């Protein structure tokens, strides 16, 4: 069975966009443009068997962009939904190299964050994984 560490690393590796740094662990003061992986919830016992059988995991991938230039940051955020679709990158290999059974991106939300007191714009992707 894949470990949480392996899966979050595989998700970070999958988020492959130009100039975007990715990290499998959330950073308190991310340097934009950057993306990190946040575990959301784990559903145990979704099928019969021991505790590691049939688990469902959910994650959020948060992509941060500097808001130094209002227009450029929002246009870059648009790119993640348009031609450089991060959903396509995340779902390109739905087994994450054979670590999991399946993966789906359910939702993307535009966000305004202030990590470390610095205003940033970004997109948060919500994904679910079946082990």
Alpha carbons 50 and 4: distance in angstroms, whole number: 17
Distance CA 81, CA 94 (A): 19
11 φ, ψ (degrees, to nearest 5): -65, -45
Nearer residue to other proteins within complex by CB, 47 or 82: 47
**Closest to other proteins by CB, 68 or 104:** 104
| Per-residue x/- track, 38-57, other proteins (CB under 8 A) | -------xxxxxxx-xx---
Contact in structure between 24 and 30 (CB atoms under 8 Å) = no
Query: Which one among 69, 78, 88, 106 touches other proteins, defined by CB under 8 A?
Result: 106
CA 13 to mean position of chain CA atoms: 10
Smallest gap from residue 7 Cβ to other proteins (A): 17
Rounded to a whole number of angstroms, the minimum distance from the CB of residue 101 to other proteins is 8
**Residue with structure tokens 């991106």?**
105
- Contacts with other proteins by CB under 8 A lie at 45-51, 53-54, 101-102, 104, 106, 130
């Amino acid at each position: 069975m894949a470990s949480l560490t392996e899966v979050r690393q595989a998700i970070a590796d999958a988020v492959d966009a130009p100039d975007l740094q990715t990290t499998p662990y959330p950073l308190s003061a991310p340097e934009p443009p950057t993306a990190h992986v946040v575990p959301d919830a784990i559903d145990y016992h979704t099928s019969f068997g021991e505790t590691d059988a049939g688990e469902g995991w959910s994650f959020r991938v948060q992509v941060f962009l500097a808001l130094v230039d209002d227009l450029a940051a929002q246009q870059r955020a648009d790119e993640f939904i348009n031609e450089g679709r991060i959903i396509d990158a995340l779902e390109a290999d739905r087994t994450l190299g054979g670590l999991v059974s399946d993966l789906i991106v359910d939702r993307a939300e535009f966000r305004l964050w202030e990590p470390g007191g610095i205003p940033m714009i970004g997109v948060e992707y919500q994904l679910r994984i079946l082990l």
